[in-house]
Chains A and B, each alone.
With several copies, the nearest count.
Chain A
Amino acid sequence: MSSVAQMIETIENQMDAETPADAANPEHLRMVEALLFAASEPLDKKALSTSLPEGADIGGLLKSLEEVYQKRGVNLCCVAGKYQFRTASDLAFLLRKEQPEQKRLSKAAIETLAIIAYHQPVTRAEMEDIRGVAMSKGTIDMLMEIGWIKIRGRKRTPGRPVTYGTTEAFLVQFGLESVAHLPGTDELKAAGFLEAVPPSGFDVPNPTEGLTSDEDPYDPNEPAEPDLLTGSANLDEA
């Protein structure tokens, strides 16, 4: 018997020996492993639990599995609050594929995507304020088409402009557990750059996926032409 096989046996013996509270049920672990391996899409805890025996400790199993695979060629990742096996990122060189990328993103599109990601929910006027230029409609349309951003609601301000946010596909693509896990969020927040106005000691907004207090859910049937209305509202104010 090879050394590896011996080790496996050691693991199994230890697992059997341990109290159920301490160790994950090895049969359940095999099941979660099989389900996640087989799936083409990330699975959430609910989806896993419907396939597992009742009472299985999904959270504990996922944690164990994550540890088992931590240093392997394949890792268990949490993306968009769901779980998926992915090849280890340090092996990218081995697997990297030159993708026929959905049109190379322009600098404007990349910036816009970042602004939407970090500032969501964000209106077009707010994006324009940050970038200091008028947005071309094509940029937003393109990001919508790729499926990385979506209209999430309307701001409760005059004109009721629509607000944009990122999608689950965005989180999956960039390997993020949630928008709160965007790189550098804390620094940006600390510097006050995620606020809509210069630092003034007001509340610090987080990028949030749920509706914020000044945001209404988006109703596509709402008659308003948001941009036009925003415009006219501004005129009124002036």
Chain B
Amino acid sequence: MSEAAFDEFEATAIVADDQALLIQVDGFEGPLDLLLTLARNQKVDIAKISILKLAEQYLEFIESAKKLNLELAADYLVMAAWLAYLKSRLILPQEKIADGEPSADEMATRLRWRLQRLDAMRAAATRLMGRERLDRDVFGRGDPEPVNVVKLRTYKDTLYDLLTAYATERVRKMGGTTYRPVQPLVLQIEEARERLERMLGRISDWSALTRLLPLEWQGEGRRRSAMASTLLACLEMARDGKLQLQQTAPFAEIFVRDAHRATDVPSEA
């Protein structure tokens, strides 16, 4: 890999030596890469390179490319424009510089520095890839001995669990049933009354008694018990003046309302 990488760098440089360079514009990775290749061709330390000469070479290269009708990416043209500007400033006598604008020398130094940095990073990349690599040049143990994980199993079961299991199992087998709280068959009148008193504020108008029954009291017997107890509770509360009751006919629906809100009579009346 390292050698290959090096070869690629060399290949670019060699190509740049002759006229084939022009066709190989695609081989460059951007204007900076092209500039670096041209700089290398000056055969001097990049630190001492003539930026003026470099700019001229670059502009020449772009001109030849244009003549061959090669399509140049925009960034090559931007660089060309910038280098043309730099070249003119390097040639012309030092004119006054606008505030904050770098001098031509500073621009040249900056460009030289960037080329040096790219060059240095490429050298570093080559050196990095030239290192002995694991599993290519150096090897770890080919047949490692893995750590055996031995599970130390412990059980959380306690005497309580054991006795529960035994009692449940034995009782089940003996045909017994486990204890379940017995659901009461009868709704106590006290309970029904307590319930109604809690609901009192919420009974706004005449409401059918059947709609005031506790929902959970379903099933034939339980519903009858709920009805009876709730009716008795209603009667008690009517006696105390807390409720008013109304029934339009025997066995018809019974209506209930809060005595404190009573101002009218049911519509049926």
Contact = CB atoms under 8 A, between A and B. Distances in A.
A40 B150 contact: no
A19 interface: no
Interface in A163-195: 172-176, 182-184, 188, 191, 193-195
Q: Chain B interface residue count: which class?
A: 35 or more
A40 B142 contact: yes
B220 interface: no
Contact of B29 (A92, A107, A182): A107
Given A174-B162, A193-B121, A102 B116 contact: no
B140 interface: yes
B183 interface: no
Contact of B128 (A84, A92, A174, A194): A174
A97 B140 CA distance: 13
B113 A96 contact: no
A135 B56 CA distance: 28
Interface of A: 34, 37-42, 77, 84-89, 92, 95-105, 107-108, 110-111, 113-115, 117-118, 130-134, 146, 172-176, 182-184, 188, 191, 193-195, 198-202, 204
B150 A99 contact: yes
B31 to A, nearest CB: 6
Interface of B: 1, 4-5, 8-9, 29-33, 75, 109-110, 113-114, 116-118, 120-125, 127-129, 131-159, 161-171, 173-176, 178-179
A193 B138 contact: no
A110 B9 CA distance: 12
A89 B140 CA distance: 11
A113 B110 contact: no
B162 A117 contact: yes
Tell me the dominant secondary structure on chain A's binding face. loop
B231 to A, nearest CB: 37
B171 A95 contact: no
Contacts of A110: 1, 5, 125, 128-129, 157, 161-162, 165
A85 B141 CA distance: 7
